[in-house]
Structure 1
């Protein structure tokens, strides 16, 4: 649905976070007199009231009956169509769209390279934008990475390329995609999707609904390798001997050695595979990826993703607050093999199986595991017998400051204090950024210096 098609309809915006604000701004830009209802919090309602917009109807309570008054509801990504009773009861006669869908429905200009996956999608999307810009192409970096697409609705001059990160909440809204990248698939966000099968289906909607001209897929991930791809889509495999892949520390294109990754600002094997995916995507878009590969050396890493905050008294503090699955925490541990590590884990309990994490700790014990958050007690109980057998420190904390103190005490005079929670940040924190900033402050670093995402927007 295009924005122009909303004219004269009964339209509501549900949720007034950054996506909701972008949707309202887009409507006011294109349809300045259009009546709009906004469902939001009381605090957001006060801010909207200061706009003195006579065409706005601001409500702080949402119900099926209230939603059913409208023909179109522009829903924020965090509101699940599966688990919200208000959505379920109001489905008949109401069309739900997202800001991502509205943007994709607009006339296109420039190639759209869309990235999804359970882990690594932000870094891969940023790498794609970096490589394209290093070749002199005007490129937009936007989407779930931190800049709603609707904030770039009428960019002039238009970009040559769009590097777009899509979450599992947004993949079904993509359309007319030039290159779709699927990195990996592990169960996540089950509270939003309801079931693992639905999560996988929604992630892979990028390949179905998006009907991409090219698909860049991870041959090393069984779920991705088994994905159904439209007959009209050309598949490019990475993490495979015939395509872009990693041998020890060297990235290869088929049999050709292209780039030694030692010294690149990409810690861990998983980040180097992200670079393989980015190179495959750039190649699928029609560029010489072999020639562009050395530009990865100038990439600026994203915050809250294995971000080294500094070294004090022999202890390196590493902020991996973006880690929201047990597999992500394991990948973080893999980056620090051979060093003493105190890892801080735990957060919102989505009911995920932490057995793989427990197995990893049993196979390669660390110096300490500090559990915290809603699922902290459950993870702690699973680790108790392993800690008793292996002799590492296992402790519980109720707050970040306590977790940091316990981790530092266990490490003593050297090692890595690693925040890699393996779980979402809420309800304790608004998002992973706020959690990472709290960790930085608790560890003695300036949180104002760690959160800016380099390269967002058009350049």
Structure 2
């Protein structure tokens, strides 16, 4: 009997003879294993560790006929009979299970690649188009803004991929979506080969996750070059618009390097006056000079800056940039100016993204725990005039000299925590030697700690450095997993410590 070739299969085909290994059993891994099992494939899921909730899901899959191996060493060996490996995005290319698949000529897909192959035709006979977003920072905000705009246009859409609904779940929904707003990380894009987004955006490129891109297996492409190459994969085979950041030439370079469908065009977004074929700002208005018939001589108003800050004040520059990118993708899909305005008016930032904790004694406390790399921290710090900066954690191979040099004049003080806090302290000593620095020691090498106790120490230290009119800003520039379960837990602990002291 001839076994089916997974490279030729689509959702409507018979998957019953396909032997699939799913590497990793997190959110995306479970979604892949679950849906492949329902399609009839013979699924084996491999994971080193799992939470109680994941173990419960494993039991459900085993009832359906899947095999789930969760134990130390489970991903060190690839089973003998395998037709395709579906990997979770966290697995580096040199992971043993992926090396084994590569040496045996077995296709390696990410969850995004699997989802692309499982798309089903909608009522109009074609699958829902994907509007895709990547970049070092701002991906989640942009995708959520885009989803809000699409829904304001009356479309059935969802934020999926690296945020919201797993992309496999989105494409397998019994009620097809009209369009998908898809956030993609560099890890996800690395394992994606055949995707052809209707339109896509790269918001920015800055050093992040470089530890993932280190090692001999990358050869000359290691580090920032490999990271950028993976981000650029989002533009391959784009059908309508490649959206890039005018202020970041590296993103335009990725557009120029991409092989797109005939007729697709480049669309820049800028915080300045937009040129022809761009979206940007004219005084306090977001305007479109890319998707109107008279774009050479006029501009279409999309919304005002006030629409992006419904609670008053001025929106941070990176929030405006995210809105422009979302608007460009929506306009490329044919969405009206009014829907762009209404969708952006309705949008609210997620928690832990420049979230005000409160003002006490003239000092404002702000939680931007989601700023998990130097580029994101820089955007956050530049939104305030005088800052006591709370930073530190896992640097993921990043450096901090450029960041500190760019915001040194804003710093009233620095409070540092986490395993790589000394990297930041050294950068401050080089570029802002007169700025006082306090290092808060608390279980840096011992895994998850008592977050509230740690942040009480942070708040006490920051309060000693801050004066009325200052902002104490948690913008760590680092990942949180050395001390917390995630950036949300870090931000929650910071806010709780502030309120415990002043509330």
TM range (shorter): 0.7 to 0.9
For residues 42 and 252 of structure 1, the distance between their equivalents in structure 2, rounded to whole angstroms, comes to 48
Query: Equivalent residue for 1:41?
Result: 49
Shift of 1:332: 0.4
Query: Equivalent residue for 1:439?
Result: 494
Where do 1:32-431 residues align within 5 Å? 34-41=42-49, 43=51, 46-47=55-56, 50-51=59-60, 53=63, 55-60=66-71, 61-66=73-78, 70-81=82-93, 83-93=94-104, 94-108=106-120, 109-172=127-190, 173=192, 175-194=195-214, 195-208=223-236, 210-227=237-254, 228-231=257-260, 232=262, 233-239=264-270, 240-242=274-276, 243-247=278-282, 249-254=284-289, 256=299, 258=301, 259-262=303-306, 264-265=308-309, 267-289=315-337, 292-337=340-385, 340-362=386-408, 364-389=409-434, 392-398=435-441, 399-431=454-486
For residues 73 and 385 of structure 1, the distance between their equivalents in structure 2, rounded to whole angstroms, comes to 47
Shift of 1:130: 0.7
Shift of 1:326: 1.4
Give the conservation status (yes or no) of the 8 Å contact 2:209–2:397. Answer: no
Give the conservation status (yes or no) of the 8 Å contact 2:373–2:477. Answer: yes
SS of 1:344's equivalent in the other structure is strand
1:224-279 CA deviation, whole Å, 9 max, x = no partner?
11121325222222224222112454323345372330362383111101111111
For residues 269 and 234 of structure 1, the distance between their equivalents in structure 2, rounded to whole angstroms, comes to 25
For residues 166 and 439 of structure 1, the distance between their equivalents in structure 2, rounded to whole angstroms, comes to 29
Aligned residues: 437
Structure 1 residues 270 and 247, CA, compared in 2 at 3 Å: closer, same or farther?
farther
Give the conservation status (yes or no) of the 8 Å contact 1:246–1:272. Answer: no
For residues 335 and 321 of structure 1, the distance between their equivalents in structure 2, rounded to whole angstroms, comes to 15
Gaps of 5+ in 2: 1-6, 121-126, 215-222, 290-297, 442-453
Query: Equivalent residue for 1:15?
Result: 24
Cα RMSD after superposing both structures: 2.5
Q: Which runs of structure 1 show a deviation greater than 6 angstroms over 4 or more consecutive aligned residues? A: none
Gaps of 5+ in 1: 446-459
SS of 2:160's equivalent in the other structure is strand
Shift of 1:89: 4.4
Shift of 1:149: 1.0
Shift of 1:88: 2.6
Q: State TM-score, norm by structure 1.
A: 0.87
The one of the two structures with greater contact order (alpha-carbon pairs below 8 A, sep at least 6) is: 1
1:280-325 CA deviation, whole Å, 9 max, x = no partner?
1111112223663254222111222212233344333322122122
For residues 101 and 167 of structure 2, the distance between their equivalents in structure 1, rounded to whole angstroms, comes to 27
Q: State TM-score, norm by structure 2.
A: 0.80
Structure 1 residues 186 and 112, CA, compared in 2 at 3 Å: closer, same or farther?
same
